[in-house]
Structure 1
Amino acid sequence: MEQSITEKINVAFAGLTAAEKQAARTLVQNFPWAGMGTVDDFSAAANVSSATIVRFVQSLGFRGFKEFQKALIRESALRDVSPLARADEAAGPLAPKDSGLVGVFRGAGAWYVEGIAETFANTNMEELVAAASILSDPSKRVFAFGGTFSHVLAQHLVSQLQLFRSGLHYVRTGSLEMSDRLSSIVEGDVFVCFDFRRYSMAALNCSQIAAERGAKVLLITDQWLSPASKYATSTLIARVEAPGPSDTMVPAFAMVEALCECVVDALGESGLKRLRAIEALRGGEI
């Protein structure tokens, strides 16, 4: 799998200068538009020098701004590709025709494993630590939202973490409950948004509402970045490419599982104390 621009940023981030990190954040929060103009346009948006922008793109492995911009344009074209278009452009079957469905099954498994490996290898550890830190703060309420398919990730995050801390709420898409949840968000809360291509307008709108109400927005998205990234305090990226026409949530599920492990570790004894209390109640079959 070819490394995307956002993944290049994640890998290089720790070694960037403060000004280059500012350029990186500007691009991530305004992807891909921040990089679509001139060098001077990008530098003005990031409030850094033009020379910083040139050094930034070179730190990502590009020879210059034009090469970086061409890659950005290619990637932005992938953001809204439909399942039908992906099916039409598929390179071929997962396995040789004579291997049958077993070969297809094994090929899919290999693809998912690679997607998980690429997701973990290209994770920005500063963003991961920031995400785990805000989710492990028991004083902060957490609201989790997902789209048509990604809502299962939001539900899973809440189900996993509610064993170890309170104040977790799943925001169900398109419901009266969604309006109720959003209206109750206050400064200091955390809004976790799952949004993958083809991106949800609801995810963008809900993230904006949460940010305007003072919540920290944690976005979990793909390497092409949801438009909701403009409101995100922290952004985590999971691979979604699959060999078939539909994108996969497998690497994102692995990301959620690993993030929950980090949160539980950060909670420490307080999390285990809650788990013991819950297990005791379960033992009473209430």
Structure 2
Amino acid sequence: MDTKNELLKKIDERYSKLSKGQKKLADYIREDYDKAAFLTAAKMGEVVGVSESTVVRFATTLGYKGYPEFQKALEELVRTKLNSIQRMKVTYGRISHGEILDSVLQSDIEKIKLTMASIDHNTFEQAVDTILNARKIYVVGIRSCAPLASFLSFYLNLICEDVKAVNTNSSSEIFEQLIRIGEEDVIIGISFPRYSMRTLKALEFASNRKAKVITLTDSVHSPMNLYSSCNLIARSDMASIVDSLVAPLSVVNALVVALCMKKQKEVVATLERLEQIWDEYQVYSKDELNMVTDSVEFSSPGDIKE
């Protein structure tokens, strides 16, 4: 299976027909894409030793409408390929220490706005209906996406009958948990750059067994979409070694709320049963802080009050 970046594919396919100057640009991008993504057409031409017009023609030769569209493809390549150390260097070169908090929060706000503007509402509704009609729901997310998968699984379990949070410690363990997946089931795969091959293989396995596949990822070009007909796109970004997954979490929240709205009676009944169980087994009796006037009252007997 070929999951090579789209831009690199285009360069490989057209390389033999490129001019001498365009080949120099192609070689530079292959070697230094992390630097190329942040250059203007004029600056790239200066670095490589060709004219600005050669850079623009190179972009159109690869099939892009112009340099801005080509640069977006370069940024996609950077998000996919940069390792953690390179990410940190790129970020530290952009943000001064005093601006970190405001810059990161503003970046997250922008990612949510971009996601709102571009997400397909019909696809979102399709995802909701697919989950509601599934016999069993599997959720898989690895590394930094694991908390998203865990969060979604936790709430799906309160809404739906049969939910499986796939344990992802090893590939063999993933397949063992998916062994009974079938066409009446759905798998939700969550992956953002750097993409997880284990998640992709899980989606491939499920697709081959005719299960429905929903993906939550960052781009229509994401390899996660190879096996999915229901692609939820949420913008992510890199901040130092940290993956910004605020927008994806908002989409997960929206899914949960939409599902709750569709199954209000069942969800209320489930929560009422849980409250009874929690009271009966004193689940929270020794783990709650009760506010009493201006002091804190500890629920556990014998604890000190302040």
TM-score, structure 1 as length reference:
0.70
For 2:74, the equivalent position in structure 1 comes to 74
Aligned amino acid, residue 70 of structure 1: F
1:135 aligns with 2:96: no
SS at match of 2:101: helix
Which contiguous aligned blocks of 4+ residues in structure 1 show a shift greater than 6 angstroms? none
Q: Within 5 Å, give how 1:221-236 maps onto structure 2.
A: 221-223=217-219, 225-236=221-232
Q: Aligned residues, how many? A: 227
For 1:155, the equivalent position in structure 2 comes to 150
> 1:115 and 1:84, CA in 2 relative to 1: closer, same or farther beyond 3 A?
same
Contact 2:142 2:168 in 1 (8 A): yes
SS at match of 2:190: strand
For 2:24, the equivalent position in structure 1 comes to none
Q: Calculate percent identity across the aligned residue pairs.
A: 22
Aligned amino acid, residue 102 of structure 2: R
For 2:190, the equivalent position in structure 1 comes to 194
**Shift, 1:148, TM fit:** 1.3
Q: Which residue of the other structure, out of 260, 263, 275, is the alignment partner of 1:267? A: 263
TM-score, structure 2 as length reference:
0.65
Q: Within 5 Å, give how 1:116-135 maps onto structure 2.
A: 116-135=112-131
**Greater Cα offset, 262-271 or 152-161:** 262-271
Contact 1:136 1:264 in 2 (8 A): no
**Shift, 1:282, TM fit:** 2.0
SS at match of 2:102: helix
Task: State the structure with more CA Rg.
Answer: 2
SS at match of 1:90: helix
CA distance in 1, matches of 2:113, 2:124: 16
The answer for unaligned runs of 5 or more in structure 2 is 15-59, 284-306
For 2:88, the equivalent position in structure 1 comes to 87
CA distance in 1, matches of 2:173, 2:268: 30
Q: Within 5 Å, give how 1:211-250 maps onto structure 2.
A: 211-223=207-219, 225-250=221-246
Contact 1:158 1:170 in 2 (8 A): yes
The answer for unaligned runs of 5 or more in structure 1 is 1-28, 39-61
Q: Which of the pair has the greater relative contact order for Cα pairs under 8 Å at 6+ separation?
A: 1
1:53-80 CA deviation, whole Å, 9 max, x = no partner? xxxxxxxxx9x95417736742542322
> 1:266 and 1:228, CA in 2 relative to 1: closer, same or farther beyond 3 A?
same
CA distance in 2, matches of 1:205, 1:261: 29
Task: Provide the alpha-carbon RMSD of the alignment.
Answer: 2.9
